[in-house]
A and B are shown apart, each in its own frame.
Chain A
Amino acid sequence: MSGLSVGMFLFLVSVGMSLIFGVTRIVNLAHGSFYMVGAYLMVTLVEVLPDRPWAFWLALVAAPLGVAVLGGAIEVGLLRLIYHRDPLMQLILTFGLILVISTLVLLVWGPDNKSVSRPDALAGSVLIFGQRFPSYYLLVLGLAPVVAVGLWLIFYRTRWGMLIRAATVDREMLGALGVNVAALYTQVFAFGSWLAGLGGALAAPTVAVALGMDGDVLTTAFVVVVIGGLGSFAGSFISALLVGLLQSFGILVFPAVSIVLLFAIMAVVLIVRPWGLLGRPEE
């Protein structure tokens, strides 16, 4: 159960990362930082908003939007300058962003761990198969299919989604057809950041909101994206659930090797299907 919810947070982060890579070809190392900022914004918003039942939900909407604005600004202000440069430059830049963002978070929120209390309606727990589960997890699990279906509808049923899918194959051609690809990049980057922020904001009540959470989620999200196939949306979903379950059960069953197991699976996938479970081989 908690494994599935962890899988859900991972899915939100990794699908955003995969989306950004698919369109812009940027491996955004700062994606975990967006997740962390989403969680911290949640902390602050829940604190400053009046103590009413709707405050939590408003914060849950507003925090990811804040992250989307941050992501969009970073794309326009920084990444746009380096699309034509060596991919190594992009890695250095986005790695630099990790350091800058974590320092800023330290300055704004301080070194102490924070927590977000669950909304009253979901503070309790429910009995499932004779075991107690926090009802908040049910919300997270209920949201998973909603988000997945929502994303599917966006990608396959809206013109914006078609533009995104076209941009992953041939950006030059799309531009020559009159599409402003630069603006599309910004929108995709902001949307991917929004997904990471949503993951962070949703996760905030289940974890200690702390400075190291960017790195933890980044490594795992990387594994998820590699296993699922870069740029594959369904792949990210399945692989996020797999990894989430593996992590939770792994820690229960054989704690010593659970991390190793994760990377072992990634290694096997890379050897057998280098393009990931549901990815497509690059030409």
Chain B
Amino acid sequence: MALLEVSHIDTYYVDSHILFDLSLTVEAGEVVCLLGRNGAGKTTTVRSIVGLTPPRDGAITLRGRDIVGLPPFRIARLGIGFVPEDRRVFPNLTVHENLEVARRTWGNGSASPWTEERVFDLFPILRERRRQAGGTLSGGEQQMLTIARTLMGNPEILLLDEPSEGLAPIVVETLREQLERLKASGLTLVLAEQNVRFVSDLGDRVYILEKGMVRYQGSMARFLADDEVRQTYLAV
């Protein structure tokens, strides 16, 4: 059984139909990339999974359990971590407080591996900023804080929406290494991205979305070898 299975979902924002019969699967330990241009439906796919914009039709199962219609906090507690687009740190809370509000307080919290200390080991810059308000951090630091914050809930799958967007190349490179380390630790990742170079080393499999539908799926290696696919769906 796949860890996460999205089957034939249709998602709407009020009356506009965004996702059409979209299906994808994520196996434990994999890094799955959702690629596509702006407006292709990447964000909506992620929001459908985490329950912020639940699909009207279709099913989403986590280890075989249907999660459609559960409130987002229940879905988060089942182990799906969400790292939103545009960072969304709590600007009025310090780095420490941002981590603290997201700390796992449900289930057997003591057995869980992510602590503030371990998160700081992965993102050392955050340790230096511990007492600083989230709103005063740079873009890259905020991105690291959003990831660190979600890790505090000890997710099994981490869904990241455009993590490299708007960051300086050197910061993007640091971030890529950090995600590489998360992957090596066995965490399952779903990356919604436009930046193919950012995910080409990291990803195992690729889904390409266009107009709310899956247009292509395959291994990262096959995708990288196929210039035509890149030209058709991703070139701007």
Contacts and interface: CB of A to CB of B under 8 A. Distances in A.
B88 A173 contact: yes
B171 to A, nearest CB: 22
Give the interface residue-count category, chain B: 20 to 34
B194 to A, nearest CB: 22
B90 A176 contact: no
B149 interface: yes
B100 interface: yes
Contact of B93 (A165, A176, A178, A181): A165
A132 interface: no
Interface in B23-79: 50-52, 71-73, 76-77
A162 interface: yes
Contacts of B90: 165-166, 169-170, 173
B93 A162 contact: yes
Nearest to A158: B100
A166 to B, nearest CB: 5
| In the complex, the 6 A-B pairs of residues with the closest C-beta atoms, listed nearest first | A178-B76, A177-B102, A175-B72, A166-B90, A162-B97, A176-B82
A166 B145 CA distance: 15
Interface in A149-174: 159, 162-163, 165-166, 168-170, 172-174
A176 B72 contact: yes
B101 A162 contact: yes
A180 interface: yes
A168 B100 CA distance: 16
B101 A172 contact: no
9 contacts: A163-B101, A166-B98, A170-B90, A173-B88, A173-B90, A176-B84, A177-B102, A178-B77, A179-B102
Contacts of B93: 162, 165-166
**Chain A interface residue number, banded:** 10 to 19
A4 B50 CA distance: 50
Contacts, number: 62
A194 B98 CA distance: 27
Given A162-B93, A165-B92, A175 B101 contact: no
Given A165-B90, A165-B92, A169-B90, A176 B52 contact: yes
Interface string B91-121: 1110001101111101000000000000000
A172 B76 CA distance: 12
A107 to B, nearest CB: 39
Given A162-B97, A162-B100, A162-B101, A178 B91 contact: no
Contacts of B77: 178
B100 A176 contact: no
A63 B111 CA distance: 42
A177 B76 contact: yes
Given A159-B100, A179-B101, 6 more contacts: A162-B100, A162-B101, A166-B101, A169-B90, A178-B76, A178-B104
B101 A176 contact: no
B140 interface: no
Nearest to B87: A173
Interface in A251-276: none
A176 B91 contact: no
A120 B84 CA distance: 60
Nearest to B104: A178
A86 to B, nearest CB: 15
Contacts of A168: 92
A14 B50 CA distance: 37
Contacts of B71: 175, 182
A162 B149 CA distance: 14
A76 to B, nearest CB: 16
Contacts of B91: 169
Contacts of B72: 172, 175-176
Interface string A28-61: 0000000000000000000000000000000000
B153 interface: yes
Interface in B100-152: 100-104, 106, 149-150
By CB atoms of chain B within 10 A, which of A172, A174, A175, A181 has the most? A175
A176 B88 CA distance: 11
A177 B101 contact: yes
Given A162-B93, A162-B100, A162-B101, A181 B73 contact: yes
Contacts of A178: 73, 76-77, 102, 104, 106, 153
A178 B78 CA distance: 9
Interface centre among A170, A178, A180 (most CB of B within 10 A): A178
